[in-house]
Amino acid sequence: MKSFVFWTIVLIHVSVNAFSHDRRFSLSLSPGLMYYQGDMSSSLAPDMRTSHFSLGFGVGYRLNQIVKLELGYNRGKISGADSLVSGHEKRNLHFESPISDIRLLTYIDLFGIYDKIWPNTLMEGEYGGRKFLGPGLIFGIGYTKYNPKGFYNGEWYRLRDLGTEGQHIPGGAYPEPYNKWALNIKYGISFGYKLSNKVHLEMEFIYHDVFTDYLDDLSGTYPDYNELIATENGKIAAQFTYGGRDGSVVRKGQLRGNPDTKDAFVTFGFKLTYVISRKDLEFFKNL
Q: Domain segments of the chain: what residues?
A: 2-285
Residue 150 burial class via C-beta count within 10 angstroms: exposed 0-12, middle 13-18, buried 19 and up: buried
Q: How high does pLDDT run on average in the chain?
A: 88
Give, in order, the Cα–Cα distances in Å from 18 to each of 58, 163, 177. 15, 45, 40
Residue 122 pLDDT grade (very low, low, confident, very high; cuts 50, 70, 90): very low
Instruction: Please compute Rg for the chain using Cα positions.
Output: 23
pLDDT in tens, 7-32: 555 555 554 454 444 568 999 999 99
Residue 3: its pLDDT value, please? 58
Residue 5 pLDDT greater than 80, yes or no: no
Comparing CA positions, the residue from 185, 183, 99, 181 lying closest to residue 140 is: 185
Higher pLDDT, 121 or 134: 134
The class level of CATH for 2-285 reads: mainly beta
Residue 208 pLDDT greater than 60, yes or no: yes
The beta strands (E) that lie in the chain are given as 25-37, 52-62, 67-81, 94-109, 132-146, 149-152, 155-158, 181-194, 199-210, 264-276
Q: Do residues 242 and 222 make contact, with C-beta atoms less than 8 angstroms apart?
A: yes
Residue 287: its pLDDT value, please? 61
Residue 123: its pLDDT value, please? 46
pLDDT in tens, 27-68: 999 999 999 999 999 888 889 999 999 999 999 999 988 899
Q: What percent of the chain shows pLDDT beyond 70?
A: 85
Answer positive or negative: Cα dihedral of 35, 40, 42, 47.
Answer: negative
Residue 94: its pLDDT value, please? 97
Helices and strands (H and E) in the chain: how many: 6, 10
Comparing CA positions, the residue from 90, 105, 96 lying closest to residue 38 is: 96
* pTM of the predicted model over 0.85: yes
CA distance 141 to 139: 7
First to last CA, the chain: 25
CA distance 9 to 139: 25
Q: Do residues 77 and 99 make contact, with C-beta atoms less than 8 angstroms apart?
A: yes
Residue 133 pLDDT greater than 90, yes or no: no
CA distance 257 to 251: 14
Average confidence (pLDDT) over 152-180: 96
pLDDT in tens, 147-163: 999 999 999 999 999 99
pLDDT in tens, 232-267: 999 999 999 999 999 999 999 999 999 999 999 999
pLDDT in tens, 263-280: 999 999 999 999 987 776
Residue 15: its pLDDT value, please? 47
